[in-house]
Chain A
Amino acid sequence: MNSSNSDKKKSHKSCTYSIDPLIFRSLLEAATEVFSVQLQSQLGFSLITGKKNLQLPHVDIASTLGLVGSKQVGMLSSCLPASTFFAIYERLLGDSISKISPENADAIAEIMNMIFGVFKAKVNPCGFDFSPSLPNIIFGSQLDLSHLHGPQLLQFLCQSDLGVFTLEISLMEVIE
């Protein structure tokens, strides 16, 4: 993930950078809840933003979901190796797959939608008003996903019996 770019900071002078702890805690709780309820899997997290020389899982499939609120806008994403995706797919839908295709790739967006649904239910009553854009799914080989406005990016390494993946959130406060 690309997490610093001073030029971009300069070009967005009307913005400030911060992520409310409530937001990322709610995101992790939402992911935990979805994995527990929908996939019967316990998730563990570690914050990896800013940590160098980490061996991150290679990415074969990713999902992005735009976050739009009146005070903040951002992006939620998740990046998975194929093995984790296959395990999630099988646990979610009961079918075993061995190749990522357009026909099965949308399962990850459904998971992302569910995580967002729980996340929204947690944060919006606390003064936020996030709405989701349509989720996008990207698949290919050796993908690399980076968010614009890296400094407000938080990236978590998630581990469960289904495998490893990363979960990212970037936010930017909008000042009118």
Chain B
Amino acid sequence: MTTSSLETRSKKPAYQILRGEGYLTLKLSGALDPEMVKIFEDEVLPELFQGAPSHIVVNCENLSSLSKPWFRILLGIVHKTKQLNKETRFILVSQTMKTLFRTEGVDKALKISINLREALVDLGLVTKKALDVDFINPFLDSTIHVLKVQALVESKAQKFFIKKEKDRFSGDISGVIGIVSESFNGSVVVSFPEATFLKIMSKMMGENFTSITKEISDGAAEITNIIFGQSKLVLNEKGYGIKTALPSVVTGRDHSVLSLTTGPVVVVPFETEVGPFFIEICLST
């Protein structure tokens, strides 16, 4: 992807153009005032339509307000894209902005997709899968990376599977973190047997731990937090638009963690040199 941008100083619109495969994302930020229209028409629109025609995704996540003259610009982008036999989608549109689209009567013309992922599905650039491997893989990669970097522990993900209703997996210490996006919410649980966790923490802290204490139990939440933080970066680059809650950590021998969901719960077992552990990823649309 390539990027270009203008600063918000001297009433210039803040924007970013990101080039993807078969599409182009126009990220608009801040308050788009009437006096910014001219400069946008002169400087940004030509850049937007240079090169081979592509679908356009307008990312409204950081858009705080939109003055009426901007609707002409947005409708112009939709129209121009259509002339090129391509389509435009607006993503991460706030409720306020959706209401504005409706009251201005442009909601039919400015087509909204929930997030980039959904937009790419709507534009026919990717196919929707029942189990989204693109969503799971970043968790696998970052778990392996985090344990390697933070604790010098080599780990290997085993084949992941959908948890059945009767499947029960228990751990002695678990980090739990909630996730929210425009199109789904969910949770991620990293659950360790005591022996595995103690060995990981001993390697991480350079000290030999023989029991789970308050001092080291937060390590599970920290590991969950770091794993999730890295996964989030990758997933949001792919357009999932994920936001995270704060993690919590639970200790207690052989506890089980359930999620209140009708969606799939994906279990990823890991094997390491210091013992097994597992991750549960739960999503609900």
Contacts and interface: CB of A to CB of B under 8 A. Distances in A.
Contacts of B186: 133-134
Interface in B169-220: 170, 174, 176-180, 185-187, 189, 214, 217-218
B281 to A, nearest CB: 11
B180 A74 contact: no
Nearest to B186: A134
B246 interface: yes
Nearest to B254: A140
B174 A138 contact: yes
A148 B249 contact: yes
A149 B249 CA distance: 11
Contacts of B261: 134
Contacts of A138: 174, 176, 250, 252, 255-258
Nearest to B175: A148
Contacts of B259: 134-137
Contacts of A67: 178, 245-246
A171 B222 CA distance: 16
B231 interface: no
Interface string A1-23: 01001001000000000000000
A136 B260 CA distance: 6
A134 B214 contact: no
Interface string B219-232: 00110010000000
A167 interface: no
Contact of A144 (B222, B251, B256): B251
A106 B258 CA distance: 8
Contact of A132 (B178, B189, B225): B178
B279 to A, nearest CB: 13
Contacts, number: 145
Contacts of A171: 246
Nearest to A60: B252
A141 B249 CA distance: 15
A129 to B, nearest CB: 9
B82 interface: no
Contact of B176 (A109, A132, A136): A136
Nearest to B260: A109
B258 A136 contact: yes
A145 B258 contact: no
Interface string B259-285: 111000000000000000000001110
B180 to A, nearest CB: 4
A66 B177 contact: yes
Nearest to A171: B246
Interface residues of B, number: 40
Contacts of A77: 248
Given A8-B218, A146-B217, A140 B185 contact: no
A171 B251 CA distance: 21
Contact of A102 (B168, B179, B189, B225): B168
B256 A148 contact: no
B244 interface: yes
A26 interface: no
A145 B246 contact: no
A39 B221 CA distance: 33
B247 interface: yes
B68 interface: no
A113 B252 contact: no
A100 to B, nearest CB: 10
A145 B178 contact: no
Contact of B178 (A64, A109, A110): A64
29 contacts: A2-B217, A62-B250, A64-B248, A66-B245, A68-B178, A68-B180, A68-B243, A73-B244, A106-B258, A113-B260, A132-B185, A133-B177, A133-B179, A133-B185, A134-B187, A134-B283, A136-B189, A136-B258, A138-B255, A138-B257, A139-B256, A141-B254, A144-B251, A144-B252, A146-B248, A147-B221, A147-B247, A148-B222, A149-B246
Interchain residue pairs A-B with the least CB separation, the first 4: A66-B178, A133-B178, A66-B245, A140-B255
Given A66-B246, A146-B248, 4 more contacts: A75-B247, A141-B253, A141-B254, A148-B218
Interface of A: 2, 5, 8, 59, 62, 64-68, 73-75, 77, 102, 105-106, 109-110, 113, 131-149, 170-172
